[in-house]
Chain A
């Protein structure tokens, strides 16, 4: 191969593997070498599964030699966020309370990736239990942004975004609860998708907020994201909230990349005060670009989006307070203070005090309060009503536009430590992404340039109605192609952190 394997996209690797120009073992080894070379600086991975990855790759090569029909991801490396259960690898969720836990079962998505022949190179870092926007809440130290190692890679799927942006893997999976795929993708200059809620299985995804958690792909190109999206999605009878409908044709849409005649709505409420100027200017350029490609751009108003953040910070903590109750030292994970003198209740309390980090505790306490009798109606109940209003805003907006657009994040990547002590500032990182999580519709972030003031990547968010995921891929692919033409190279080629 003339090109470095780690610089190739998943689609390119897939083609080279299918043509026999390279073996899965070679591809895997190249990525493992890259991880060995850079991950001490990036810290994208909590666990590198070198042996099992090479074994998996060897199996793929064997199958290919035997003439078996293989899918597009066969032999392509993928990094997996450390909250998908994986047989043979630890699953920590970035938490001390689960350090060393080896799940006895594979998440549906882990299983589908393995069946597709994708090579799992390791488990990526994350904010503890997916609570955070920077990976600084990981119990195992933050990951770093390949554009600037002193900045965060976003979060909570920051290990996944950093791994892809640092060429440690062409593909990664993450989960999006309030923006945890799109925000890290945006600040790392890559593509990240939150599929329609229920479009990708949650079985084996350690829950943060059940009604919001949505697994999705991170990749360097829109087509790569679509390939992974298609491979990981589809109905799962083990997840009651999984939608029993065909996966939208996202790969075909990503290959087409056409916006001519499409009505694109700019959401008035997602912009303006509090947004970084360079983010707004790049976003404005992206809208102009889409218009120049034949889209009809209109402004749409979603008046209740301003309540999305507070509603989210009641619903997500409420669900998490219940979901995280199971970490009690009884069956798995950390057990603290069990010295023979303490009863089960005390051991539970000590374990949770020692095992959970500050942000997890903050949200468990918030959620416990919001669900308490006497407060339920005022907090959780009211937040659910706001959620309904946001869904109605989306319904109305999608009546006027085929897709909606906004910046993916209000700012570019912030410095490590900059917001760590200010939860409210940290929460604002998800301002643009939370509405789609509350409504359950699909959304994608695609790079749209560098903010002039800090030369860091800006993301364009494209939102589509539920089950119309293909529509946003079409828009994202068109924007990506036009931008790449304009820049003469992928945006990521300008990253200088490594």
Chain B
């Protein structure tokens, strides 16, 4: 256990220490069936309904490799500029845990499928080249749920439930080489790397990469050494950091914590740590005494994997445009500066904007909506942009309604709110709420003018500034329009008509 809970402020830590980071990222592949059996991989099914003798590890059952998983892994390896092995084997990683059906995990050890690649990662005005050590394939474990107890961890729990639906889902592990020379940019580099990797994997069509479902999880390695010391410090490995923001926070926290440890003249303990989303802190996990010996050996139930060169060549030829190349192309097409483009990427809005543009919106509009209004909504709701209940096509439609004058910006915000609230498509919302500015406005204004003419006394009082007196006028207009008008809008129109020269620019008639 570290004895210090104090932290050194980040900027100060960076004055004295140089970080080295490394990331191990697990991506669940989006294959239709599991890694070694025919069970389906759909997320969210009733516990233990997507299982068979193989993924339950029943005595006598045997694994058979999913060819599509091999292909997907090669796709990732090629996109990460890796060398693809001409011959490699699976290995057994032996350790006991209740959510591991066989008490060994079929993984790869010293013969990974892909090795020695790199990924370029843009951070602010710079691009960092992150070396890729290896990309290998393994099977996921089941999922334990520890019931009772305070921590949600196995210790102290009353009992545990295990769901084996996830057991055997193909998992790709992507391990970076140590990343040096980032300096104070280390947290941003870590985040940008995972972002870049996520976009790449998504572009390759090998996983839907939903971080909140755990289909992309990163372990973050951090070490610190005094600036100019020429050596690397002892590293910690923070496990299962499950969002982009958390990746950045975990690196930042570990730098601040390790700096405090080193400042106090103590040693950083090489250990596994847990990240806590709520506090943004890490705590010590398994200690050194419990260090595992996984007793790796070649999996005797499987034959070696030897991808033929022509197959690999075919996979290479069919690779989609790499995100970096695509980003450069889109940046040129949209006429954005580097920083604007980076902001777009970091917000996770690149694909959304691209799809919105593809659906017909001008790039500036698409960017404005996603980075403005929608980013605020996502932030308020604690969601990723992509998880908002609005599609790029719907955003494009809103933009179109604005540019054609049907909506103004304020009404468009109302429409977006309604779409997010599940009230339907933008057109449905406009129709249902009578939010359109122009088309119905003429009829509405006629009704307002009629009502004013019919109730000159009330109109006079409103004109004197007694806005609250407008009620009967609103009622008259609502009756006249058969209740289809938006009452708030009607009130506003009445007030506008009766207050010369004081109309609110945001809501006036545009046509």
Interface residues of A (CB under 8 A from B): 83-85, 91, 93, 98, 101, 103-105, 107, 202-207, 209-211, 237-241, 318-319, 321-322, 325-328, 330-332, 343-345, 348, 368, 371-373, 376, 380
Q: Which one of A204, A210, A325, A380 has the greatest number of beta carbons of chain B within 10 Å?
A: A325
Interface centre among B65, B96, B102, B162 (most CB of A within 10 A): B96
Bound-state CA distance A83–B60 (Å) is: 8
Identify 9 residue pairs between A and B in the complex whose beta-carbon atoms are under 8 Å apart, listed by A's number: A93-B59, A104-B58, A203-B60, A207-B60, A211-B300, A238-B62, A325-B102, A331-B58, A371-B296
Q: Check if B293 is an interface residue, CB within 8 A of chain A.
A: yes
In the bound complex, do residue B58 and residue A105 qualify as a contact, i.e. CB atoms below 8 Å apart? yes
Asked if B53 is at the interface of the complex by the 8 Å CB criterion, the answer is yes
Shortest CB-to-CB span from A311 to chain B, Å, is 15
- CA separation between A209 and B63, bound complex, in Å? 15
Among A327, A343, A344, A348, find the residue whose CB has the most chain B CB atoms closer than 10 A: A344
Instruction: Kindly state the separation between the CA atoms of A168 and B488 in the bound complex, as whole angstroms.
Output: 93
Known contacts A343-B154, A345-B96; decide if A240 and B63 are in contact (CB<8 Å). yes
For residue B235, CB closer than 8 A to chain A, the reply is no
A380:B59 contact, CB within 8 angstroms: no
A258 to B11, CA, bound (A): 88
Q: Is the CB of B60 within 8 A of A322?
A: no
Please state if B62 and A203 are interface contacts (CB–CB under 8 Å): yes
Taking CB atoms, residues of chain B closer than 8 Å to A331 are: 56-58, 101
CB distance from A243 to the nearest CB of B (A): 10
Residues of chain B in range 27-66 having any CB-CB distance to chain A below 8 Å: 53, 56-65
> Within the assembled complex, what's the spacing in Å between the Cα atoms of A107 and B58?
12
B94 within 8 A of A: yes
Alpha-carbon gap, A240 to B300, bound state (A): 10
Given contacts A103-B53, A371-B295, 5 further A-B contacts (CB under 8 A): A104-B58, A326-B59, A326-B101, A326-B102, A348-B96
Interface status of B98 (Cβ within 8 A of chain A): yes
Picked from B53, B96, B296, B302, the residue with its CB within 8 Å of the CB of A328 is: B96
Residues of chain B with a CB closer than 8 A to A240's CB: 62-65, 301-303
Q: A210-B301, A330-B162, A343-B154 are in contact. Are A373 and B59 (CB under 8 A)?
A: no
Q: CA–CA, A343 to B511, complex, Å?
A: 74
What is the bound-complex CA distance between A331 and B57, given in angstroms? 9
| Complex partner residue of B300 from A84, A91, A210, CB under 8 angstroms | A210
Enumerate chain B residues within 8 angstroms of A380, measured Cβ to Cβ.
297
Q: Which of B464-488 contact A (CB under 8 A)?
A: none
- Contact check, B300 vs A204: say whether CB atoms are below 8 A apart: no
Q: Does B334 contact A (CB under 8 A)?
A: no
Q: Is the CB of B303 within 8 A of A105?
A: no
List residues of chain A with CB within 8 A of the CB of B103: 325-326, 328
Chain B min CB distance to A93 (Å): 7
Chain B interface residues (CB < 8 Å from chain A): 53, 56-65, 92, 94, 96, 98, 101-104, 154-155, 160, 162, 293, 295-297, 300-303
Q: A93: which B residues are within 8 A, CB to CB?
A: 59
Query: Do B59 and A98 touch across chains, with their CB atoms under 8 A apart?
Result: yes
B293 touches A85 (CB 8 A): no
Tell whether, in the assembled complex, residue B62 and residue A373 are in contact, meaning their CB atoms are under 8 Å apart. no
Asked if A344 and B160 make an inter-chain contact with CB atoms under 8 angstroms apart, the answer reads yes
Distance between Cα atoms of A207 and B154 in the complex (Å) = 30
Give the CA-CA distance A368 to B297 in the complex, in Å.
11
| A373 and B293 contact, Cβ closer than 8 Å, known pairs A105-B58, A206-B60 | yes
Do A239 and B297 touch across chains, with their CB atoms under 8 A apart?
A: no
In the A-B complex, the 3 residue pairs with the smallest Cβ-Cβ separation, listed nearest first, are A325-B103, A210-B300, A371-B295
List A contacts of B65 (CB < 8 A).
Answer: 240
A207 to B102, CA, bound (A): 12
Q: Residue of A at shortest CB range from B301?
A: A210
B57 neighbours in A (Cβ, 8 Å): 326, 331
Complex contact A85–B300 (CB within 8 A):
no
Q: Is the CB of A318 within 8 A of B297?
A: yes
Measured in the bound complex, the distance between the Cα atoms of B295 and A120 in whole Å is 39
Judge whether A330 and B295 touch: CB under 8 Å. no
Residue of A nearest to B303 (CB): A240
In the complex, what distance in Å separates the CA atom of A203 from the CA atom of B53? 10
Task: Tell me if A206 and B59 are in contact (CB < 8 A).
Answer: yes
Q: Are A103 and B60 in contact (CB under 8 A)?
A: yes
A344 to B162, CA, bound (A): 12
Contact of B62 among A103, A239, A318 (CB under 8 A): A239
Evaluate contact between B98 and A344: CB separation under 8 angstroms.
yes
Asked whether B62 lies within 8 Å of A344 as measured between CB atoms, the reply is no
Q: Which residue of B lies closest to A97 (CB)?
A: B59
Cβ contact within 8 Å between A322 and B104: yes
B60 engages A85 (CB within 8 Å):
yes
CA–CA, A322 to B103, complex, Å?
8
The answer to whether B59 touches A344, judged by C-beta atoms less than 8 angstroms apart, is no
Report Cα–Cα, A376/B59, bound state, in Å.
26
Q: Are B154 and A344 in contact (CB under 8 A)?
A: yes
Shortest distance in angstroms between A246's beta carbon and chain B's nearest beta carbon?
19
Chain B residues whose CB sits within 8 angstroms of the CB of A202 once the complex forms? 62
List residues of chain B with CB within 8 A of the CB of A330: 98, 162
Q: How far is the CB of B167 from chain A (nearest CB, A)?
A: 11
Contact of B98 among A107, A205, A325, A328 (CB under 8 A): A328
Q: Are B104 and A204 in contact (CB under 8 A)?
A: no
Q: Which of B53, B94, B295, B300 contacts A104 (CB 8 A)?
A: B53
- Say yes or no: B303 contacts A241, CB within 8 Å: yes
Complex Cα spacing A332 to B53, Å: 12
Closest to A348 in B: B96
Asked whether A237 and B94 contact (CB < 8 A) given A322-B104, A344-B154, the answer is no
Give the residue name and chain of the A residue nearest to B164 (CB): A331
| Closest chain A residue to B52, Cβ basis | A105
Complex: A105 Cα to B58 Cα, angstroms: 9
The answer to whether B98 touches A204 (Cβ under 8 A) is no
> Which residue of chain A has the shortest Cβ distance to B57 in the bound complex?
A326
Whether the pair B59, A91 counts as a contact (CB closer than 8 A) is yes
Q: State whether B303 touches A325 (Cβ < 8 A).
A: no
Bound state CA distance, A368 and B293, in angstroms?
A: 10
Docked complex Cα distance between A206 and B62 (Å): 10
Most A Cβ at <10 Å: residue of B53, B63, B295, B303: B295
Q: What separation, in Å, do the CA atoms of A112 and B249 have in the docked complex?
A: 58
Residue of B60, B64, B154, B302 contacting most chain A CB atoms (<10 Å): B60
**Contact between chains at A322 and B96 (CB < 8 Å):** no
B146 to chain A, nearest CB (A): 10
Task: Find out whether the CB atom of B293 lies under 8 angstroms from the CB atom of A372.
Answer: yes
Complex-state Cα separation, A330 to B104, whole angstroms: 14
Compute how far the CA of A376 lies from the CA of B104 in the bound complex, rounded to whole angstroms: 17
A130 to chain B, nearest CB (A): 12
Bound together, the chains give a CA A91 to CA B160 distance in angstroms of: 28
The interface residues of chain B lying within 8 Å CB-to-CB of A211 are 300
B162 surroundings in chain A (CB, below 8 A): 330
Expressed in whole angstroms, the Cα–Cα distance for A205 and B53 within the complex equals 12
Q: What is the CA–CA distance of A155 and B168 in the complex, to the nearest angstrom?
A: 35
Q: Which of B62, B293, B296 has the most CB of A within 10 A?
A: B62
CA distance A203 to B60 in the complex (A): 6
For the complex, what is the distance from the CA of A93 to the CA of B60, rounded to whole Å?
11
Which residue in A103, A107, A238, A376 is a CB contact (below 8 Å) of B297? A376
Is A107 touching B60 in the complex (CB atoms < 8 A)? yes
**A380's closest neighbor in chain B, by CB?**
B297
User: Which residues of B are found within 8 Å of A332, using beta-carbon distances?
Assistant: 58-59
Instruction: Please give me the residue from chain B that is nearest to A129 by CB atom.
Output: B59
CB-CB < 8 A to B155: which residues of A?
343
Residue of A nearest to B56 (CB): A331
Closest beta carbon of chain A to B417's beta carbon, Å = 49
When A331-B101, A344-B154 are in contact, do A322 and B297 touch as well, CB less than 8 Å?
Answer: yes
- Tell me the smallest distance from the CB of B387 to a CB of chain A, in Å: 35
Distance (whole angstroms) from the CB of A242 to the closest CB of chain B: 9
Which residue in B56, B98, B102, B297 is a CB contact (below 8 Å) of A371? B297
Closest-by-CB residue of B relative to A352 is B96
Of A104, A237, A368, A376, the residue contacting B64 (CB under 8 A) is: A237
